[in-house]
A and B are shown apart, each in its own frame.
Chain A
């Protein structure tokens, strides 16, 4: 059974699907292309679910390596194409596949041109994101990280609206600038590992060992930490590097927005856990007060900025940023509760922001606008959408028994009980974060009421409520939100070992 569950298959079948779609097999028949894409997405999602089913709850499992003629990939340089899943990524991989499946399904009516290119780019993007999550090798991670830029750049610029070309360029520049820091830090780490140990290897496990027992100069370590952190902070995004995110969110098409906020942001969060926390634990402990302050600034700034937006999508983008601030707050508390909470926020945020963007997309489809002033009274025409919007909005403000609540509770509690070096800082940060989350309630519900309630919007046009595949997608998201909200332990037990191992690294 283990052979069947190969990470190579998981990561590279989307590329295969992309090639088939791009090939002249389907000609210009976009219906076949779409059906094929959806089928592939579904199969891929089911396949990725199998990894959870057969996950053995060890710290590490499903190790897989690409061998070329009996030797590793670029073995002389110490770079191997090694993949593996641990407690966190075994959840992130199916989540990625799930969000892609949903966005492929809703693409039916939202993407109307260049189907062939669109679906093949989507599959390439899926493959690169999975590669980022599954890489056990630093340079492999970097390759997938950079490769992610290309499909996403075209996806934003080709199918967006307004000045999407500009936003896509912004996205490219920002992430690329971040990647420069990242790659410099990686090269530095790689060569210093070689100098101190005499062995060329970019494997993350190897580097972790060499970091702990090597004679690393502290200053170099700090530089590397800073490089990694900047690279991931741009992607997360941490204020002030967030402009690319809000702009590209507001201009890209709905499925792309969903992927951007639900998945692409998670890669940044994953990177911080994987590199900054895992490789530089003592520096992370040292800098955790600063990271905590960054996190709180992120939450406050994003919440306040969300108020003034006229664009629905931008408001939701700011909501995502504030959630990532919560993630960072949980992470910087450096205890079991905080780490559990941070990872839970990663997962819950994916579902919620995907749901919020989906709703926005559905509204955009009928009302042809995403400006807040021009919308009102849609609840009269779309009661079913409104019902689902209720669920997702309540989840967004972390009402209990929805998926966001356990995460937020754990993060607040973790931050409150963290043994931060500056004594009352953690407690103050935790309280501020709690109070600021009030603002989330007020801007999310301001949006909701403006869109769905009040009927100053008299139009002769009859809007159709959601139905068919769109109804199914949004219902599935709502179902997940409530299901995992009622049984949070089902998710937490899977990544429990992962946080335990992180804590062990931190304790050393």
Chain B
């Protein structure tokens, strides 16, 4: 185990090296074949996973922290360092990341088969993995910012991978720009933070910036700033996480980014955004937990997002869009879990959510590939449960877990709910119930629609490559295999039901899901239906995306006219100069008659003036 801790840099270098190999293979086509690249990539991902597992078992049950850093950028007397922080949080993140990485690598090797940019894709993918690894291991706030933004950039590049299609490139651009908003807000938060560290009387050490010392710094920060300023600074820092984790009102970038390739969407929605937003919030928790309003804001932003996005998801017929909204919605539940100061729950929930998302996306990818025209509408999917019993079964299992009816999903849902209730957050708990209802509803609705028994168009049964099946099995295994020691979770859970009694909770949350399932069954077969305006509102995502467009268009149009002023002013000056030069040019045309006439005219004028002058003097 000592080996893994000592050579921690290897965990970056492996994907980075793979990326370099893949880029080399892309640009110098003679060097390495596609197959070799994918094999190298998969093997390094497996090594990475072994590595991460070793780190996980070293750090999981102890509070040991390993940290080292080197200087990167000097800011006045302060030095921003680049370092590594290894504790149980980052080890857990790494494990989730690396397992998802294996799944995505295997799936991509088949999904992108025989495409011309195959190697390029693997290059970008491994760079993204490097970036997320660095993000989860980063030891201070500025470094987190660096890799947070790098992750965003690489997600954008991968989303824009098939840039020839204008729809894809437009939505990739939009998602990138919305991501930038978050980055800029986070940057301003970081600037406030560094400013504090710089002006702080005893701040001669750069250690103050690191997460390890954050608790102490945060306490001083809290004393130093007034309440409202502290609140603003915290919200600025948190807004970075809001945007990255696609919370309301910035969730629309996630629905834009799903136009990219399926494995990329799976990776973005299961690990990239999750780890980006959540690890930042977890790391900054010592700061946030000082102020009650900040924690409340975090809880309610999360819960509101989870409900509103679940509502938007329930109107979708596009499976990718539905999954994107569901990601936002489920991440919304993570934030209350963090704000309730229960990191174990958060990590556990995240693992459940990540693997479930991966499995749903991968199944959706296979289903979409069956549709002849490139669409991802659920109603167009010519499949049935009997044709693909395996896919249907996997889909169902995942859906069960996500809607809190089954095993891991159930435990974690109950744990969060129990904690909400134990802290007497009644409104929050009712939000949670609403979320549960909607989530179960749309997930089961999608299941019933896709795997309907009697469909009109049965396509011929396609053969599914084993490279596509293995990742799905892997993700299903990890949904149900308790990788993250959930004994503590179950302990928490049992403690909760000691307080609230088993029958107080289970009759509330499980029946809600069951009712939702029944509703979903009828909704899928069009036996019940919501009002049309309601459906439309949900289908269009509350018209938030349109609002963005109108707003941006309006602003740009306004300033477009406004900035012309200077041009007009300078052109006006130029016209005046031109006018005078024209006057001069008229008078000097080189024509002798003109000059003579000028001379006669001006001498006449002079004469008149002279006479007038004499007359004037005479008059006086």
Binding site for B on A (CB under 8 A): 239-240, 243, 301, 304-305, 307-308, 335-337, 340, 377, 379-380, 383-384, 390, 394, 397, 399-401, 405-406, 409-410, 412-413, 416-417, 430-431, 434-435, 437-438, 441-442, 445-446, 449, 452-456, 488-489, 492
Inter-subunit contact B166/A417 (CB<8 Å)? no
Which one of B71, B164, B173 lies within 8 Å of A489 (CB-CB)?
A: B71
* Contact A430:B191 (CB < 8 A) given known A307-B556, A401-B146, A452-B163: yes
* Contact A417:B180 (CB < 8 A) given known A449-B169, A453-B164: no
Residues on B with beta carbons closer than 8 Å to the beta carbon of A384: 27
B580: Cβ under 8 A from any A Cβ = no
Inter-subunit contact A399/B166 (CB<8 Å)? no
Q: In the complex, A305→B566 CA distance in Å?
A: 10
B547: Cβ under 8 A from any A Cβ = no
* Contact A455:B166 (CB < 8 A) given known A400-B145, A489-B72: yes
Inter-subunit contact A412/B191 (CB<8 Å)? yes
6 smallest beta-carbon distances between A and B, as pairs: A453-B169, A454-B166, A400-B146, A453-B163, A304-B559, A305-B563
B397: Cβ under 8 A from any A Cβ = no
Which one of A340, A394, A430, A452 lies within 8 Å of B153 (CB-CB)?
A: A394
Q: In the complex, A307→B563 CA distance in Å?
A: 10
Inter-subunit contact B149/A399 (CB<8 Å)? yes
* Contact A449:B173 (CB < 8 A) given known A399-B150, A417-B195, A434-B188: yes
Q: In the complex, A62→B165 CA distance in Å?
A: 57
* Contact A400:B177 (CB < 8 A) given known A304-B563, A454-B169: no
Across chains A and B, the number of contacting residue pairs, with CB separation under 8 Å, is 118
Inter-subunit contact A441/B150 (CB<8 Å)? no
B22 to chain A, nearest CB (A): 13
* Contact A445:B569 (CB < 8 A) given known A379-B164, A488-B73: no
Residues on B with beta carbons closer than 8 Å to the beta carbon of A379: 163-164
Residues on A with beta carbons closer than 8 Å to the beta carbon of B569: 240
* Contact A240:B149 (CB < 8 A) given known A337-B76, A453-B164: no
A216 to chain B, nearest CB (A): 32
Residues on A with beta carbons closer than 8 Å to the beta carbon of B27: 384
Residues on B with beta carbons closer than 8 Å to the beta carbon of A400: 145-147, 149-150
Inter-subunit contact B169/A304 (CB<8 Å)? no
Which one of A308, A410, A430, A445 lies within 8 Å of B177 (CB-CB)?
A: A445
Residue of B71, B117, B160 ringed by the most chain A CB atoms within 10 A: B160
11 additional A-B residue pairs with CB within 8 Å, beyond A399-B150, A438-B184, A449-B173:
A307-B556, A394-B153, A397-B180, A399-B149, A405-B146, A434-B187, A442-B177, A445-B173, A454-B165, A454-B166, A489-B73
Sampled A-B contacts (24; CB under 8 Å): A240-B566, A240-B570, A243-B566, A243-B570, A304-B559, A305-B563, A308-B560, A337-B75, A340-B76, A409-B73, A410-B75, A412-B191, A413-B75, A413-B191, A416-B191, A416-B192, A430-B191, A437-B184, A438-B181, A441-B180, A445-B176, A453-B164, A455-B164, A455-B166
User: In the complex, which residue of chain B has the Cβ closest to the Cβ of A307?
Assistant: B556
User: In the complex, which residue of chain B has the Cβ closest to the Cβ of A390?
Assistant: B157
Inter-subunit contact A412/B75 (CB<8 Å)? no
Residues on A with beta carbons closer than 8 Å to the beta carbon of B562: 304
Q: In the complex, A445→B619 CA distance in Å?
A: 79
Q: In the complex, A449→B117 CA distance in Å?
A: 19
Q: In the complex, A384→B566 CA distance in Å?
A: 39
Inter-subunit contact A412/B187 (CB<8 Å)? yes
Tell me the interface secondary structure of chain B in the complex: helix
Residue of B75, B188, B195, B566 ringed by the most chain A CB atoms within 10 A: B75
Inter-subunit contact B150/A446 (CB<8 Å)? no
Inter-subunit contact A449/B170 (CB<8 Å)? yes
Which one of A308, A410, A456 lies within 8 Å of B166 (CB-CB)?
A: A456
Residue of B164, B191, B199 ringed by the most chain A CB atoms within 10 A: B191
Residues on A with beta carbons closer than 8 Å to the beta carbon of B559: 304, 307-308
User: In the complex, which residue of chain A has the Cβ closest to the Cβ of B116?
Assistant: A383
Inter-subunit contact B177/A413 (CB<8 Å)? no
Which one of A307, A340, A405, A454 lies within 8 Å of B164 (CB-CB)?
A: A454
> Quick one: which of B29-76 are within 8 Å of A by CB?
71-76
Inter-subunit contact A406/B177 (CB<8 Å)? no
B268 to chain A, nearest CB (A): 17
B198: Cβ under 8 A from any A Cβ = yes
B280 to chain A, nearest CB (A): 14
Q: In the complex, A435→B185 CA distance in Å?
A: 8
Residues on A with beta carbons closer than 8 Å to the beta carbon of B169: 449, 453-454
Residues on A with beta carbons closer than 8 Å to the beta carbon of B74: 489, 492
Q: In the complex, A454→B71 CA distance in Å?
A: 42
Residues on A with beta carbons closer than 8 Å to the beta carbon of B146: 400-401, 405
Residues on B with beta carbons closer than 8 Å to the beta carbon of A454: 163-166, 169-170
Inter-subunit contact B184/A435 (CB<8 Å)? yes
User: In the complex, which residue of chain A has the Cβ closest to the Cβ of B163?
Assistant: A453
B511 to chain A, nearest CB (A): 47
Residues on B with beta carbons closer than 8 Å to the beta carbon of A243: 566-567, 570
Inter-subunit contact B176/A441 (CB<8 Å)? yes
Residues on A with beta carbons closer than 8 Å to the beta carbon of B560: 304, 307-308
B343: Cβ under 8 A from any A Cβ = no
User: In the complex, which residue of chain B has the Cβ closest to the Cβ of A335?
Assistant: B76
Inter-subunit contact A336/B76 (CB<8 Å)? yes
Q: In the complex, A489→B169 CA distance in Å?
A: 36
B283 to chain A, nearest CB (A): 17
Residues on B with beta carbons closer than 8 Å to the beta carbon of A456: 166
Q: In the complex, A454→B195 CA distance in Å?
A: 43
User: In the complex, which residue of chain A has the Cβ closest to the Cβ of B79?
Assistant: A489
Q: Mark B71-105, 1 if CB is under 8 A from A, else 0.
A: 11111110000000000000000000000000000
Q: In the complex, A337→B570 CA distance in Å?
A: 37
Residues on B with beta carbons closer than 8 Å to the beta carbon of A445: 173, 176-177
Inter-subunit contact A417/B73 (CB<8 Å)? no
Inter-subunit contact A399/B164 (CB<8 Å)? no
B454 to chain A, nearest CB (A): 41
Inter-subunit contact A446/B75 (CB<8 Å)? no
Inter-subunit contact A453/B75 (CB<8 Å)? no
B36 to chain A, nearest CB (A): 21
